[in-house]
């Protein structure tokens, strides 16, 4: 009996212990997230999350009724779909949208109805990076919308992101879609105005130009011109537009037998006068019949890069400088695919990037030509696809890289303004068969560049440095433009990129990296002058456009030095540093060596 009583008591004790343990376990509800590991996305990106609670009977004893799932972020700013959501299921999903850059902790709180229990999940960390701003613009949706792309050195980042729908108020040619697109760099790169031409088959030779702000506001018909004259009513089947570094809009048009070149000086959305530059452009090495599709873009030296496509397997790029009635465009490249086949299809747009490479838009997507493979004599050049997109028409950018074919190599050209005087400096090498430099200036309200200085060549095959000053204290313009005319011994010449000088100081100036080249076991410092306190983002990209390093630093007014972190992680090679402050972006190359 004692043994039996003892065993019975033990069984009773064990039963009580097991029952109590189950009750304790029932008081521990839990919620888990998927994904639970750290996530990454860009600003504007989305991530799908699912919250799952543990089972009803053992863990949620308070009635087992409806359960409310509430999503939140720390810090706030993330938006969620299905939030809050009340269901009887043991899970609920949401799409989280991250509008801004930063680091966010995502959690889900679950509350059981009917006075039940609640639980909060562990947080999932999401790192959100700031996107690259759009730097190439296209007429998308078959020419009805103006959209932006972000690309870097042939690598796709984002787009097309719709900015506005093109319209044609006051049109006399009946345009409803765009034939051509351009974007100026004025009043600034980020606020540059858009310009476009309508796509019309019955235009009788008349070209209209429309303009809008950077956001698509204040759409205005700013001007028109009967390109082929009142006595000629032939329709223009080819009409394209490119904006130059000084704000000049260049219109290239053709009727199948004649190629016309016209221009206007842009002034925001205000009316302009369109004038004829050359009523019969000469082609060297090509045929006007090829200009059924295509576009044009303008380099920093003012040279025209004209894209021509006949829709039947011939795609070519012509180059030339405007020269009044003596303008000649010379065929430079025949475009081919990576498999060396003719580049076919409807090729509609061409634009430069900041580094001088060329992008094309076609009926099937965005393509890229690396300038390093397109700097030889006339031949073929390969186009590689950046991203597949349908419905693209024309293409535009508002950066103007320097392109030079003279023996002399222009290594750099810069300007600094102080106390009413502009100091202009440039460095060259390989001055073979070279004569002299002419420095030219144009005011913001001027129409033509004028010569302000002449500098003879040193005649060195190595490096030569030059510097001149220009007193502009008596000029009323707040903004001035300079370019360098480089003249060969036989009279041939080309222009440098156009640089701008403001009498008011930019946020950052005097940017340099030291040392350059950088040893991959050493350190480097970016130095610059700042007008005031700011938060600056420093990015390092490889030559494929991939971001490999990023850091943020607070800077103060005056001279600043920023240590570039983690350079020891980089392999030897060429890289690009981007210094970003709001809408200001500066980029320059540097190299890493062993």
pLDDT of residue 58: 67
User: What whole-number distance in Å separates Cα of residue 581 and Cα of residue 538?
Assistant: 9
Would you state the structure tokens that stand for residue 435, as one six-digit string?
């004569």
What DSSP designation does 447 have? Answer: S
Contact between 300 and 498 under an 8 Å Cβ cutoff? The reply is yes
**What are residue 256's phi and psi, to 5 degrees?**
100, -20
Contact between 486 and 410 under an 8 Å Cβ cutoff? The reply is yes
User: What whole-number distance in Å separates Cα of residue 243 and Cα of residue 54?
Assistant: 62
For residue 218, which of 164, 139, 272, 145 has the smallest C-alpha distance? Answer: 164
**Residue 58 belongs to what H/E stretch?**
helix 56-59
pLDDT of residue 357: 81
**Omega into 517 within 30° of 0, i.e. cis?**
yes
Contact between 354 and 135 under an 8 Å Cβ cutoff? The reply is yes
What DSSP designation does 231 have? Answer: T
| Strand ranges (E), 220-312 | 220-226, 238-243, 248-254, 259-265, 275-278, 282-284, 293-298, 304-309
pLDDT of residue 6: 44
For residue 183, which of 114, 69, 268, 103 has the smallest C-alpha distance? Answer: 268
Would you state the structure tokens that stand for residue 144, as one six-digit string?
């009805």
User: What whole-number distance in Å separates Cα of residue 392 and Cα of residue 178?
Assistant: 11
CA quadruple 150, 156, 162, 166: dihedral sign = positive
Length of the chain (residues): 594
What residue ranges define each of the domains in the chain, with the CATH number in brackets? 26-129 (2.60.40.10), 136-396 (2.120.10), 409-502 (2.60.40.2060), 508-593 (2.60.40.1930)
3-class DSSP assignment, residue 567: helix
pLDDT of residue 373: 61
Would you state the structure tokens that stand for residue 154, as one six-digit string?
């042939």
**What are residue 7's phi and psi, to 5 degrees?**
-65, -40
Contact between 306 and 296 under an 8 Å Cβ cutoff? The reply is yes
The CA–CA distances, whole Å, from 505 to 35, 419, 510, 516 equal: 48, 11, 11, 26
**What are residue 170's phi and psi, to 5 degrees?**
80, 15
pLDDT of residue 550: 92
**Residue 24 belongs to what H/E stretch?**
helix 2-26
Task: Supply the pTM of this predicted model.
Answer: 0.54
**What are residue 193's phi and psi, to 5 degrees?**
-75, 150
Say which residues have a Cβ less than 8 Å from residue 543's Cβ, sequence separation at least 6. 153, 573, 574, 575, 576
- Residue 288 gets the label, from left (phi > 0), alpha (psi -120 to 50) or beta, of alpha
User: What whole-number distance in Å separates Cα of residue 377 and Cα of residue 359?
Assistant: 20
3-class DSSP assignment, residue 274: coil
How big is the chain by its Cα radius of gyration, in Å?
Answer: 31
Question: pLDDT 10s per residue in the chain (594 long)?
Answer: 444 444 444 444 444 444 444 444 445 889 999 999 999 887 777 899 999 998 766 677 655 678 999 999 999 999 999 999 999 889 999 999 998 889 999 999 999 887 678 999 999 999 998 877 889 999 988 889 999 998 888 888 888 888 999 999 999 999 899 999 999 999 998 999 999 999 988 899 999 999 999 999 999 999 999 998 888 888 898 999 999 999 999 999 998 899 999 999 999 999 999 999 999 999 988 899 999 999 999 988 788 999 999 988 899 998 888 989 999 888 878 888 888 888 887 899 999 987 778 899 998 999 998 766 654 444 678 889 999 999 999 999 999 886 543 446 677 899 998 888 999 999 887 676 678 999 999 988 788 899 999 999 887 766 789 999 999 988 888 889 999 998 876 566 778 878 989 876 567 778 888 898 888 777 889 998 888 888 999 999 888 788 899 999 999 988 999 998 888 888 888 888 888 887 677 778 888 887
Contact between 387 and 394 under an 8 Å Cβ cutoff? The reply is no
Contact between 73 and 100 under an 8 Å Cβ cutoff? The reply is no
**Omega into 35 within 30° of 0, i.e. cis?**
yes
pLDDT of residue 526: 92
């Amino acid at each position: 009996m004692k043994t039996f009583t003892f065993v019975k008591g033990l069984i009773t004790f064990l039963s009580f212990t097991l029952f109590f343990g189950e009750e304790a376990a029932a008081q521990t509800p839990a919620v888990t997230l998927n994904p639970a590991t750290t996530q990454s996305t860009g600003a504007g990106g989305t991530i799908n999350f699912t919250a799952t609670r543990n089972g009803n009977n053992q863990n949620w004893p308070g009635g087992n009724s409806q359960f409310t799932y509430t999503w939140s972020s720390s810090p706030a700013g993330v938006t969620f779909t299905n939030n809050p959501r009340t269901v009887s299921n043991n899970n609920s999903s949401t799409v989280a949208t991250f509008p801004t850059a930063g680091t966010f902790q995502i959690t889900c709180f679950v509350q059981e109805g009917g006075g039940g229990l609640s639980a909060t999940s562990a947080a999932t960390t999401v790192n959100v990076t700031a996107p690259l701003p759009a730097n190439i613009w296209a007429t998308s949706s078959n020419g009805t919308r103006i959209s932006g792309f972000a690309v870097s050195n042939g690598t796709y980042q984002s787009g097309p992101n719709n900015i506005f729908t093109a319209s044609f108020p006051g049109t006399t040619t009946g345009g409803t879609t765009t034939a051509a697109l351009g974007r100026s760099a004025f009043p600034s790169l980020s606020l540059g105005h858009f310009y476009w031409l309508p796509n019309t088959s019955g235009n009788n030779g008349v070209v209209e130009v429309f303009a809008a702000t950077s956001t698509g506001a204040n759409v205005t018909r700013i001007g028109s011109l009967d390109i082929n004259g009142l006595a000629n009513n032939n329709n223009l089947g080819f009409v394209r537009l490119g904006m130059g570094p000084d704000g000049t809009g260049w219109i290239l048009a053709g009727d199948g037998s004649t190629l016309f070149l016209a221009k206007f000086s842009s002034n925001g959305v205000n009316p302009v006068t369109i004038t004829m530059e050359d009523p019969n452009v000469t082609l060297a090495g090509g045929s006007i019949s090829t200009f059924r599709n295509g576009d044009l873009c303008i380099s920093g030296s003012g040279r025209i890069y004209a894209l021509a496509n006949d829709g039947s397997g011939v795609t070519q790029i012509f180059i030339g400088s405007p020269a009044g009635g003596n303008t000649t465009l010379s065929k430079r490249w025949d475009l081919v695919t990576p498999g060396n086949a003719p580049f076919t299809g409807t090729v509609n747009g061409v634009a430069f990037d900041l580094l001088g490479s060329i992008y094309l838009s076609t009926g099937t997507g965005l393509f890229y030509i690396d300038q390093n493979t397109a700097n030889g004599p006339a031949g073929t050049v390969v186009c590689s696809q950046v991203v597949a997109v349908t419905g693209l028409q024309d293409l535009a950018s508002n950066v103007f890289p320097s392109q030079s074919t003279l023996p002399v190599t222009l290594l750099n050209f810069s300007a600094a303004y102080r106390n009413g005087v502009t100091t202009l400096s440039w460095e060259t090498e390989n001055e073979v068969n070279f004569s002299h430099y002419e420095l030219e200036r144009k005011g913001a309200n001027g129409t033509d560049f004028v010569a302000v200085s002449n500098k003879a060549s040193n005649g060195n095959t190595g490096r030569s440095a030059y510097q001149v000053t220009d007193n502009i204290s008596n000029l009323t313009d707040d903004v001035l433009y300079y370019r360098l005319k480089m003249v060969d011994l036989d009279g041939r010449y080309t222009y440098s990129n156009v640089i701008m000088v403001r009498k008011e100081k930019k946020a950052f100036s005097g940017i340099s990296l030291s040392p350059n080249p950088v040893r991959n076991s050493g350190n480097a410092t970016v130095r610059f002058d700042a007008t005031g306190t700011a938060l600056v983002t420093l990015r390092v990209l490889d030559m494929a456009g991939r971001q490999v390093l990023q850091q943020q630093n607070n800077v103060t007014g005056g001279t600043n030095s920023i240590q570039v972190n983690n350079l020891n992680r980089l392999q030897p090679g060429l890289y690009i540093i981007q210094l970003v402050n709001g809408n200001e972006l500066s980029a320059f190359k540097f190299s890493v060596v062993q």
